[in-house]
Amino acid sequence: MAARVAKDIPEGAYVNLGIGLPTMVANYLPTDKDIFLQSENGLLGMGPAPAKGEEDWELINAGKQAVTLLTGGCFFHHADSFAMMRGGHLDICVLGAFQVSVNGDLANWHTGEPGAIPAVGGAMDLAIGAKQTFVMMELLTKQGQSKLVESCTYPLTGLACVSRVYTDLAVFEVGAAGASVVEMVDGLSLDELQGLAGVPLRAAEGARN
């Protein structure tokens, strides 16, 4: 999934990678493209994960993972970082999710279950502030329920903010017109995918299998 997301990030983009799966995208970005990764704890110019044994634990991302700094990278105050995020200065953010609706609503900070610990972090600021919001998630829960839904049942992070959803089975575009399938894994049909997702799906123009 991370490699697939990386393919869709254009040269020159300023990008925030959310905690969890999205941080893996940094390891798949092409080295011949200038793509600028921002971390909400105050870092711009983040590189891929360091080799094992070469970690500098004073150089971490928002998820407390060791990272590297590319030539020209810089550090700044947390407040300045959120000004970038809220001010529309990021081209793309990549976030994880508990649910995404077919019209692009995002729920990724709380399941509402008793005892569950809410963890919104900067997700609301990113989802609304970035020019595009991509989501990385497995399509199904451990119980086999689709995370791509008609309407989110978990507390919302943002309304109509997601444009693309990258899953282990397919890539979707979501928005006012509903969900369309951009790409599927080999051997999976649109009918089979729709049966798993449980929401109306259509093939996007130029969709690939």
Give the per-residue SS3 of the chain.
Answer: CHHHHHHCCCCCCEEEECCCHHHHHHHHCCCCCCCEEEECCCEEEECCCCCCCCCCCCCECCCCCECCEEEEEEECCHHHHHHHHHCCCCCEEEECCCEEECCCCEECCCCCCCCCCCCCCCHHHHHHHCCEEEEECCCECCCCCECEECCCCCCCCECCCEEEEECCCEEEECCCCCEEEEEECCCCCHHHHHHHHCCCEEEEEEEEC
Collect all residues with Cβ–Cβ distance below 8 Å to 188 and sequence separation of at least 6. 169, 170, 209
Distances, alpha carbon 41 to alpha carbons 1, 13, 47, 61, 74, in Å = 24, 19, 15, 7, 12
**Active site (annotated) includes residue 40:** yes
* From 40, 150, 192, 205, the catalytic residue: 40
Positions marked active-site: 40
